[in-house]
Amino acid sequence: MDIKKGQAMKIRYATISKEGRRSNNEDFFVVMDQQERGRFWGIVCDGMGGHACGEVASETVAHAVSAYWEQHAEEMDSEDKVVEACQEATRAIEQKAREVGLKEMGTTLVMASIEGDIVTIAHVGDSRCYLQRPGQGVMYQTQDHVRLSFGYEIVARSFFSGHPEEAIADVVQISVCAGDRILLCSDGVHKSMEPEDLEARMMEAKSLEEILHGFDLSCWKYGDDNYTAILIEVE
């Protein structure tokens, strides 16, 4: 799956993360902007609803993956690198669960790492990544890891203490071009808007901050969950 990287791209980004109508925010995100080294990555994690310490789980996994990426910054991005980062995050959440005395802690993850002109996208669960290109529309969208249980949709893959076999990431590598926009978001974002509305808003001729302000209004009005997004533009 490895792709030979080309010239480094310039990156702009904006972020948002709010509690919404919940009492606390179980989402967590990390952005590492190292464009001077030809690198940029963003991570969004969504602590599993209904399980204790969701916010601890999301922060633990996001930091573990980001730390692994930082420690191995000289290695080219690859599917193997994602697998190893996920294994590190699995160990981290198991250790954190023991520290806080809980059997059940879980979180989703979605990440995008831009190295040169290649983006590596990985996800576990129902947090999403959208990649759109001007004039061509959606070039890639992650597919949620969900299943039905008694008529309800539940997350089928996650970083979940005691269940390391669930932390299996889907990974793709795609060449990016100037004008491409990448959205990383928790389900509190994509469940608050119709798909075509979200996709259209991503590509509006506005600043990234203005676009996320519009997301903010919709998530607050129509959603009932925490919501987090990283919106990235390649220049």
Average pLDDT, the chain: 94
The tens digit of pLDDT for each residue in 46-80 reads 998 555 689 999 999 999 999 999 999 999 999 99
Q: What is the pTM of this model?
A: 0.95
3-state SS class at 104: coil
Residue type, 112: A
Phi, psi of 163 (to 5 degrees): -135, 65
Q: Which two tokens stand for residue 155?
A: 């997350």
Q: What is the pLDDT of residue 49?
A: 57
Q: What is the pLDDT of residue 62?
A: 98
CATH number of 11-234: 3.60.40.10
Burial class (CB in 10 A: 0-12, 13-18, 19+), 43: buried
Q: Report how far residue 151's alpha carbon sits from residue 136's, in angstroms, rounded to the nearest whole number.
A: 36
Per-position b or e across 103-119, b if 16+ CB within 10 A of its CB: ebbbbbbbbbbbbbbbb
User: Side-chain half-sphere of 136: how many Cα atoms within 13 Å?
Assistant: 11
The tens digit of pLDDT for each residue in 90-147 reads 999 999 999 988 778 899 999 999 999 999 999 999 999 999 999 999 999 999 999 9
Percent of the chain beyond pLDDT 90? 83
| pLDDT exceeds 80 at position 224 | yes
Confidence of residue 209 (pLDDT cuts 50, 70, 90): very high
Q: What is the pLDDT of residue 128?
A: 98
CA quadruple 49, 226, 46, 152: dihedral sign: positive
Confidence of residue 1 (pLDDT cuts 50, 70, 90): very low
> Do 13 and 119 meet the contact criterion of CB atoms below 8 Å apart?
no
Q: What is the pLDDT of residue 223?
A: 95
Instruction: Identify which of 218, 168, 173, 167 has the alpha carbon closest to the alpha carbon of residue 194.
Output: 218
